[in-house]
C-alpha cells in the first residue's frame, strides 16, 4: 500500500537541486550515444512506452487517480495518426498533432464522465468507457477491424527530413521524448501541479480552501491523455501500423504494471519500469518462455522487496545508507 509519505512532498518538489541538471544532461548524452551500441528500434519502443507510463504517472502518481482505460488514448491516437498518414497522406508532424488532438478530445469526454466518481468507481468507469472505445475501433470502417491500419509510409518531417531511416527517426523520437518529460516536469512543479498534489494528499482540505477539485482532476486527466496519445502516435509512426492491441485492456494493465514497478510519484520511476518490462519482453520473445509468467514473478518480487517501486525504494533508502 502506498501512503502519503512515499510520495514526493509539495515542499520537496519546489526545491531546485543541481543534481537534477546533471541528470538531464546525462540523459541527453546517453540518448545521443545509445544508437551506437543498441538497436535503435528497441530504444524507440522503450521511449514510447516510457512516455506512456510517464503520462499515466502524471494522473496516478501526482493526481492520485487510478485509470484502467488509458489504452483508449494510446491506441486511439495511434489509429488516427496511421489513418492520417495512409489515407490523408499528410506530413508526419501534422499526423502526430492530429493523433494527439484526438486523444485530448477523447480524454475530455471520458474525463467529464469519470472525474465525478472516486476510487474504484473512477477506475471502473474508465475501464468501461475504454472497452466501449475498443468495440468502436473493432467495428469502425477506417480501422479495418482486426487487420488494423498498416503499410503506410512514415513520410518526411516538415517535408524535408526523411523518417524512413531508423537513425533519423530515432533522434526525432528522442527529441519528442525529452521535450515531453520536460513538459511533465514543468506541469508537476507548476502551481497547477502543487494544487494537484494537495488534492491527492487531502481532497477535502483542498475543497475547503476553495479549489475546484473536479477541474484540477479533469485538467490532469486530459493532459495525461494527451501525452499518452503522443506516445501512441510515435509508436504507430515507428512500427508503421496500428492494431486492436493498442486499445485492448491488456495495454492499460501493462502501463499500470510499468508504473508500479518503477515507482509512482517520480519522474524516473515510469521510465525505469517501462525499460524493465520492454527489455524482458524483447529478450524473452524468442526464448519460448512465457513472458507473462516472468512479468508476474517480477511484479511479485517488486511488491515483496520494493513496496514503493524500484526508484521509490531507492529514494527512500538512500538517506539511511548515507547516514550509515
- How many other β-carbons are positioned within 10 Å of the β-carbon of residue 34? 16
What b/e sequence results for 254-272 when a residue is b if at least 16 CB atoms lie within 10 Å of its CB, and e otherwise?
bbbbbbbbbbbbbbbbbbb
pLDDT of amino acid 212: 87
Reduce the secondary structure of the chain to three states and give it as a string.
CCCHHHCCCHHHHCCCCHHHHHHHHHHHHHHHHHHHCCCHHHHHHHHHHHHHHHHHHHHHCCCCCCCCCCHHHHHHHHHHHHHHHHHHCCCHHHHHHHHHHHHHHHHHHHHHHHCCCCHHHHHHHHHHHHHHHHHHHHHCHHHCHHHCEECCCCCEECCCEECCCHHHHHHHHHHHHHHHHHHHHHHHCCHHHHHHHHHHHCHHHHHHCCCCHHHHHHHHHHHHHHHHHHHHHHHHHHHCEECHHHCCHHHHHHHHHHHHHHCCCCCHHHHHHHHHHHHHHHHHCCCCCCHHHHHHHHHHHHHHHCCCCHHHHHHHHHHHHHHC
pLDDT of amino acid 265: 85
What does each of the 324 residues of the chain score in pLDDT, given as a tens digit? 344 444 544 444 444 456 566 766 777 777 788 777 888 899 999 999 999 999 999 999 999 899 999 999 999 999 999 999 998 889 999 999 999 999 999 999 999 999 988 888 999 999 999 999 999 999 989 998 888 998 888 888 888 888 888 888 999 999 999 999 999 999 999 999 999 999 888 888 888 888 889 999 999 999 999 999 999 999 999 999 999 999 999 899 899 999 988 888 888 889 999 998 998 888 777 777 777 788 888 888 887 777 778 887 777 776 655 555
pLDDT of amino acid 4: 41
Q: What are phi and psi of 149, to 5 degrees?
A: -105, 120
Strand-pair partners of 150: 241
From the list 86, 68, 226, 227, the residue with the least C-alpha distance to 148 is: 86
Q: How far apart are alpha carbons 308 and 315 in whole angstroms?
A: 9
pLDDT of amino acid 302: 80
pTM: 0.89
- How many other β-carbons are positioned within 10 Å of the β-carbon of residue 174? 21
Q: Scanning the structure block, which residue is given the C-alpha cell 513538459?
A: 183
Rg of the chain (C-alpha set): 19
Q: How far apart are alpha carbons 36 and 14 in whole angstroms?
A: 37
Amino acid at each position: 500500500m502506498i501512503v502519503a509519505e512515499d510520495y514526493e512532498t509539495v515542499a520537496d518538489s519546489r526545491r531546485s537541486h543541481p543534481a537534477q541538471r546533471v541528470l538531464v544532461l546525462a540523459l541527453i548524452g546517453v540518448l545521443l550515444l545509445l544508437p551506437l551500441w543498441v538497436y535503435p528500434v528497441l530504444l524507440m519502443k522503450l521511449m514510447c512506452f516510457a512516455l506512456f507510463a510517464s503520462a499515466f504517472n502524471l494522473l496516478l502518481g501526482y493526481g492520485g487517480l487510478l485509470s484502467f482505460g488509458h489504452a483508449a488514448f494510446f491506441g486511439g491516437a495511434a489509429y488516427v495518426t496511421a489513418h492520417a498518414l495512409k489515407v490523408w497522406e499528410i506530413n508526419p508532424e501534422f499526423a502526430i498533432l492530429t493523433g494527439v488532438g484526438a486523444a485530448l478530445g477523447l480524454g475530455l469526454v471520458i474525463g467529464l464522465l469519470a472525474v465525478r466518481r472516486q476510487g474504484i468507481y473512477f477506475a471502473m468507469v474508465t475501464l468501461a468507457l475504454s472497452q466501449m472505445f475498443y468495440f468502436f475501433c473493432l467495428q469502425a470502417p477506417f480501422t479495418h477491424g482486426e487487420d488494423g491500419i498498416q503499410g503506410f509510409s512514415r513520410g518526411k518531417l516538415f517535408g524535408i527530413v526523411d523518417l524512413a531511416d531508423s537513425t533519423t527517426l530515432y533522434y526525432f523520437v528522442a527529441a519528442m521524448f525529452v521535450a515531453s518529460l520536460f513538459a511533465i516536469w514543468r506541469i508537476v512543479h507548476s502551481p497547477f501541479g502543487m494544487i494537484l498534489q494537495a488534492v491527492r494528499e487531502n481532497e477535502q482540505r483542498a475543497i475547503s480552501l476553495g479549489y475546484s477539485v473536479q477541474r484540477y482532476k479533469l485538467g490532469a486527466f486530459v493532459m495525461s491523455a494527451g501525452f499518452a496519445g503522443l506516445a501512441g502516435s510515435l509508436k504507430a509512426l515507428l512500427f508503421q501500423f496500428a492494431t486492436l492491441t493498442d486499445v485492448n485492456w491488456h495495454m492499460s494493465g501493462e502501463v499500470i504494471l510499468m508504473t508500479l514497478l518503477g515507482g509512482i510519484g517520480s519522474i524516473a520511476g515510469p521510465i525505469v519500469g517501462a525499460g524493465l518490462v520492454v527489455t524482458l519482453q524483447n529478450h524473452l520473445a524468442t526464448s519460448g518462455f512465457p513472458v507473462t509468467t516472468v512479468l508476474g514473478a517480477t511484479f511479485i518480487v517488486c511488491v515483496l522487496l520494493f513496496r514503493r517501486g524500484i526508484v521509490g525504494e531507492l529514494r527512500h533508502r538512500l538517506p539511511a545508507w548515507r547516514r550509515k
